[in-house]
Each structure stands twice: as structure tokens, then as C-alpha cells.
Structure 1
Amino acid sequence: MVKISSWELQISGLEKGAGVYEIIVTNDSGGETMERFKLDVYVQNQAARLPVNGSLGQSVYLTPENPHGSKIEEVFWKRSSPRLRIARYMKGDVEYFGAEDYRKRIKLHPGNFSLQISDLQRADTGDYETVVTGNSEVEVTERFKLDVYEPVTGTKISYQIMENCNITLSCSVNTGDNTSFSWWRGQEALRNDSIHHLSENGQELQLHFTAQIECNVYKCETRNPVSEDTAHIKLSHVCNGNKPAEPSCGFPYTVKIISSVIILTILLSIIVIVHVISKR
């Protein structure tokens, strides 16, 4: 379809190829003015966005596929949102764009045409695209979606002994965003059951004991797309009725009684010996 409006020529349904167009403008006095335009039409591959996760303060590589093998004429990197030119490779030379502090953090590697972004910042989150042009003048576009996360650190578990045989374990982290929580008892991943109840976000685990049980090691596992961390706690109090009972792990209670009897026997023996000596 060809449409002329306000001296503009609109061509829809473009097909691959090239051509020369002319426009001739005739004024009131009969004079003519002519201009020529060369139109080149290339095939462009609209690829889906590839997800890439980066860690705050670290480096990330955005690596395109190379449909032309080693026959690359030009590689152009830019951001889609916000719109920003980043770097260009052309005939062996690399050129960088943007502010100086930004240029110091980026590097285009001519070997595989990947874009390296160092010292990642939250502002680096966004959509990126690269346009690769081969010697056949065919353009291939690839898109990347970069998300930058703060790593998870400092996972710890706190506990609170409640009434009615309830113990609540709470898991927290010092740093980390988009963090998920999961709980383990030994090698067993915990789900809601008669003893365990997880909060909606998994950050808290409530334990309900109806009788004294063996002490167990509980583990909280925290993770996000770029990191993971764990913390452990060994229960030293379990519930017997409504009061914390003697721990069933560590020193057995019977051993403590035997130790007390031995100590008491030794003290009585010393008293008897001192009494006998004093009578002499």
C-alpha cells in the first residue's frame, strides 16, 4: 500500500530488498525540484526476552547467540527501558556511550560480543537488546531482561515458648530481597501437619507438642534467585503439659540423678572421716 500525505510517502507491508525512490516537486512557475531516496529492507528477528539474574555489587554477562558464525559486521547494545545506547562493535573497534561512570562499569567483549556489567546497581534492572548484523546485512535482535537482587546473608532463628505446648520458631535475615523461607527437620522438608504449622510466607514455624519428645535439629533455609543461606537450632526445651520439661537431648536426666548421688555420698564420707579424726 502506498499513501501520500503532506509530501510523505508511506509504504506498508515491507519486504526484504532495496530500491531507489524519487520525488519531483513542481512549483507555480513550472520549476522542478527532484530528490532521491534509497530504501534498504532487512529481515529482523524479534526474539523473546531472555531472563538474567544479577547480584548487587557483582558482575553479570549478557551473551547473544551468533547466527552468522564469525561473520559479524556490527553489534549494537542498547537499553530498551529506559532508552539508552550502551556500546557498539564495528569492524574491530568498540565504542561506548552514556555517562563516564556508567562507561567504566561496562565492557563489550569482541570474542563473543557479550556485554559485561560490573558493580551491579539496582538501577541496572531493566530490558536490554542487542542487534547483530552479519556480512549479508541481515539483522538479528535479541532481548534480555535483567533483574538485580541483594544477596541473602545473616540468616538466624529465634524462638518463643508459648502456652499450650506451643513453640514458635522465627527465621530472619540481615540482607536480601525477594527472599523465600523453608524449614527442615533433619533431612525432612516440613509441611503443615499435627505438630508443625507454617505461616503463610513460611517465615515462622509453630510447633505443638502433646508429650515430651526427643530433641531435634531444625533448619531454616533462605534463598532468592542469586543466593541462599541457612541457620540451625537444636531444641533444648520441649513441652510436658503446659511447662517446659527437662531437655531430652544432651545429658540424660537419669545421669544427672546418678551424678548427684555420687557427689552426696562423697560429701557424707568426708564428714564421717572428719568426725572420727576429731574424736582422736
Structure 2
Amino acid sequence: MRFRGRVSTQMTIFILFFLHLSQLQPGSFSARVPRNSWVAATGSSILFPGTDKEFDGLHWEFSNPSRTLPILNCGKSYQEIYDQYKTRVELNKSNGSFLLKDLHKADSGEYKITVDLDPSRTRILTLTVLDPLSTPHISRNGSLESHTITLICEVQSGIANSVRWTRGGLALPDDERYWLSEGNSTLTISDAQESDSGYYTCTFSNLVSQSNNSYQLTIKGPEFRTHLGLILPFGLCVSMFLLVLYDCQRLL
């Protein structure tokens, strides 16, 4: 029994030692490199953090699936900002942080900081740059009662993550006559009633902006169609009378 106990203890020590060695194998640090994901708007600026400890040499680089670009190198007695970033980078030499200005979508990718070639002090930041959303434009198809009416909301720039409609500042009525399509950018009202009249607002949102616009929808009821039916014949008669009068004046 004592022999078995010693074997079990030795086996446990061996397993723990093996696991410790496996954690020190080359490449093990890469799996633990801290990563953060940020989102910013085109035209804005973003501050990339440096290091909170002393360093002799620090390097920043940018990469995406198509290219890798060095951004800067700095140390206690030197600093270098590469040509493609000179006009857009403000470096804080004390900790290696830097401000990247005037962002555009081509800046989307990974930003890697390497400190003293120490893998444990390597950090990767993923940046996504998005266009802010323009003010939506709302167009309408139809306005007559008992007909189908469609409100179409569109933005000229930016890509929305969500589109939301409200009526009079409240959620749309829980009515099967109301339905959304085209990623919620199109609102259709079937068998429209005068009670469906009101201010309809569509709100576009993405991770860097939110934009909305409103449209006053007026549903024209039977009275409008009656008036329209009287006005059109009267207008036609007036036009014919004026035409005959003009011909008579020419003959005289």
C-alpha cells in the first residue's frame, strides 16, 4: 500500500511538471496576446495606448489582409514616424502611445505594439472605421384610403446596423396591416385608413452614429375623391371653353 502511494505521488508530480513545461513551449505566448476591438467614425481620431512600464525600444505596426505597414519606432534617445503616417500621428514618447488623426476606412485592421521584443508585452488592437450615417430621406407611394401605402427610408452614406420606425414618437401599432421589409427600411400599410395619418419617423443606427427623419403622412378619405371627381370635369370644361374662345378670336 505504501509503495502504491509513492508511485501515485511521483506520477502526480511528473504530470504537473510536464504541464508546466508545455506552457513554456515556443509560441505559447502568441495565444495569450491581449486583443481589443474598437470602432471609430471616419474623420475622427483615436488614441492607441502605450505601455505602463519602462522600455528601451517600442514598435507599432498596422496590418490587414492585403498589407503590413510600420507606423513608428521609439526609445529613450530616438523616435521615428514613418512617412505614410507623419502627418497623422502624434506620438507620446514617454509611454509609446500615439494619436491617429483623420481616420478613413482604409485604416481598418490590426495595430500591434511590440515592447523590447518581449512577447508578454505584445498587444494587438483591432480597429474598424465606419462612415457616419447621413440624414435619411423618406419617400411615399400612395396616399388614398383603403389603398396600400409604402414609406421608403434611405440614407446616402453609411451602413446601418438597425432601422427602427415609430409613429408619433411611439412604437408602430400592433396591427397586421403594418409590415416591414428590406431590412426594416420599407414600411407598408395595407388597407390604409384615415386613422393611420400622422408623423412617421425612421431611425438608422450603427456603432458610430444615429440619424433619423420624419414624414407627415395624410390619408385622403372619400371626401377627397368626391371633390377630385367634381374638380376634374369642371377643369376639363373650362379648358374646352377657353380653347373654343381662342379659335373664335382667330377667325374674327
**Band of TM-score, shorter chain:** 0.5 to 0.7
How far the C-alpha of 1:102 sits from its partner, in A, is 2.9
Aligned equivalents of 2:61, 2:84: Cα separation in 1: 17
RMSD of equivalent CA atoms? 3.5
Aligned equivalents of 1:53, 1:112: Cα separation in 2: 23
Change (3 A) 1:13 1:209: same
Aligned equivalents of 1:161, 1:172: Cα separation in 2: 18
Matches within 5 A, 1:88-103: 88-91=73-76, 93-97=78-82, 100-103=83-86
Change (3 A) 1:96 1:158: same
The 8 Å contact of residues 165 and 239 in structure 1, kept in 2 or not, is answered as no
Change (3 A) 1:226 1:95: same
How far the C-alpha of 1:51 sits from its partner, in A, is 1.3
Aligned equivalents of 2:199, 2:226: Cα separation in 1: 17
In the alignment, which residue of structure 1 is the partner of 2:45? 59
Structure 1: stretches of 5+ with no match in the other structure: 1-11, 17-40, 247-280
SS for the counterpart of 1:213 is helix
In the alignment, which residue of structure 2 is the partner of 1:23? none
In the alignment, which residue of structure 2 is the partner of 1:29? none
Q: 82, 107, 110: which one pairs with 1:124? A: 107
Q: Looking at both structures, which has the greater relative contact order when contacts are Cα pairs under 8 Å and sequence separation is at least 6?
A: 2
How far the C-alpha of 1:138 sits from its partner, in A, is 7.0
More strand by share: 1
Aligned equivalents of 2:73, 2:203: Cα separation in 1: 43
Aligned equivalents of 1:245, 1:110: Cα separation in 2: 78
Structure 2: stretches of 5+ with no match in the other structure: 1-20, 228-252
How far the C-alpha of 1:173 sits from its partner, in A, is 1.2
The 8 Å contact of residues 217 and 233 in structure 1, kept in 2 or not, is answered as yes
In the alignment, which residue of structure 1 is the partner of 2:190? 208
Change (3 A) 1:46 1:133: farther
How far the C-alpha of 1:103 sits from its partner, in A, is 2.1
The 8 Å contact of residues 72 and 81 in structure 2, kept in 1 or not, is answered as yes
In the alignment, which residue of structure 2 is the partner of 1:229? 211
Question: Counterpart of 1:150 in structure 2: which amino acid?
Answer: D
Matches within 5 A, 1:1-280: 15=24, 46-64=32-50, 66=51, 69-81=52-64, 82-91=67-76, 93-97=78-82, 100-110=83-93, 112-133=95-116, 139-161=120-142, 164-178=146-160, 180-190=162-172, 193-209=175-191, 211-213=193-195, 215-238=197-220
Change (3 A) 1:146 1:43: closer
Question: Counterpart of 1:52 in structure 2: which amino acid?
Answer: W
Change (3 A) 1:239 1:245: farther
Change (3 A) 1:108 1:173: same
Change (3 A) 1:140 1:240: farther
Aligned equivalents of 2:110, 2:180: Cα separation in 1: 36
How far the C-alpha of 1:76 sits from its partner, in A, is 1.5
How far the C-alpha of 1:177 sits from its partner, in A, is 2.8
How far the C-alpha of 1:206 sits from its partner, in A, is 0.7
**Number of residue pairs the alignment of both structures matches:** 203
Question: Counterpart of 1:149 in structure 2: which amino acid?
Answer: L
Instruction: Report the TM-score, using the length of structure 1 for normalisation.
Output: 0.60
The 8 Å contact of residues 237 and 245 in structure 1, kept in 2 or not, is answered as no
The 8 Å contact of residues 62 and 71 in structure 2, kept in 1 or not, is answered as yes
SS for the counterpart of 2:218 is coil
Q: What percentage of aligned pairs have identical amino acids?
A: 25
More helix by share: 2
Change (3 A) 1:180 1:205: same
For residues 87-141 of structure 1, give each alpha carbon's deviation from its aligned partner in whole angstroms, at most 9, with x where no partner exists.
12211532112xx34321123223553332212222211111112349xx67411
